[in-house]
Amino acid sequence: MTLVHWAPEDLLARIDDVLTVYAEAMDYPPDLVAARRGFVAAHTHYRGFRAVASLDNDDRLLGFGYGYRSGTGQWWHEQVASGLPAEAAKFWLADCFELVELHVRPDAQGHGRGYAQLTALLDGATEATVLLSTPEAPYESSRAWRLYRRTGFVDVLRHFRFPGDERPFAVLGRRLPLEAGI
């Protein structure tokens, strides 16, 4: 496996692969995934955009992650802010890296790729905090939850419902920078 940092144009060049991995990892139907294309493309223009990808020896995309500096007026930022008390919103969102996506193909999971992608993506982030949202799931059955807990993410908002998705989500966060040896 090779882990690479992607510039916006790199992600855009592989957007079909990115959406395929996203669909497989999230078990989303094709119509929902197709609707995400424009959002993903738009995200590459956000301030502080950072992306990483895991590739196999044949250049097949095994996983990816990306995020950017969260800011007032951005959809996710505003949704999360609306669900938090004012002081919590100020603490978590004032200087925040928004971890938008972090996925590994189901057949490539369990080999440390998610951890490698997460740490590479957050290494060098200059923001004070990082936030992400993930579907609520039993800790024991979710590799994503185990990864986030192992790397120090704490509950910020639980059982939150984003418009357009019926599932409850958790918003998890942690202070930055990541300490060595996590």
Write 11-20 long-range contacts (CB < 8 A, 24+): 11/40, 11/44, 11/51, 11/53, 11/64, 11/66, 12/41, 12/44, 14/53, 14/61, 15/40, 15/41, 17/60, 17/61, 18/61, 18/64, 20/61
Say if residues 137 and 147 touch (Cβ distance below 8 Å).
no
3-state secondary structure of 158: strand
Catalytic residues: 148
Q: Name residue 59's amino acid.
A: D
